[in-house]
Amino acid sequence: MIKKTGFLFILLLAASISLVGCSSNNNAYFKQVNIDEANKYFEGNQTGFVLLVTDNDEYFVPTVERLAKEKKVEVVMYNPYQSDGKNDNKGTSIFPNSSEIKGDAMYYLEKNEVTGELSINSYTDSQLAKEVMNFMDLHN
């Protein structure tokens, strides 16, 4: 009986570890970042895609997340009303130090220079995926 219990414990532990590994891979290409991480793109030498949102529940966020995973393209999302990456700033916004950015847009930055911008909230659901894919293909 003890051997069966030990075997089941090891089996459940292995299954849990593999599930944790799978869930962490789901966020490998899309994640919300804090102001310090966002500034690596806007002020530092980081190159890549930044989705700047003013509400995490915007209709376009799931589409960008899905396409990032499908295309294996890293996209970081920054919400200036959640500058620590998770908690509400209680009504104040903290934008990266750049005069070129605004909310609800997707940017491609190369060493702190905006080289591509997609006003993401201006597309209907049917056109959104196509425009985001084109933007990713153009800058990747």
Classify the C-alpha dihedral 29-43-120-83 as positive or negative.
positive
- The arithmetic mean of pLDDT across residues 108-118, rounded, is 92
Contact 120, 107 (CB under 8 A): no
Residue holding tokens 């219990």? 5
CA distance 111 to 98: 13
How far is the C-alpha of 118 from the C-alpha of 138, rounded, in Å? 11
With bands split at pLDDT 50, 70 and 90, how would you rate the model's confidence at 13? very low
Domain 28-139 CATH class label: alpha beta
For the stretch 27-79, pLDDT in tens is: 689 999 999 999 999 889 999 999 999 999 999 999 999 999 999 999 999 99
**Residue whose token pair is 């891979």:** 25
Decide if pLDDT at 19 tops 50: no
Contact between 108 and 135 under an 8 Å Cβ cutoff? The reply is yes
pLDDT at site 52: 94
Q: Which amino acid is at 35?
A: I
The residue among 7 and 124 whose pLDDT is bigger is 124
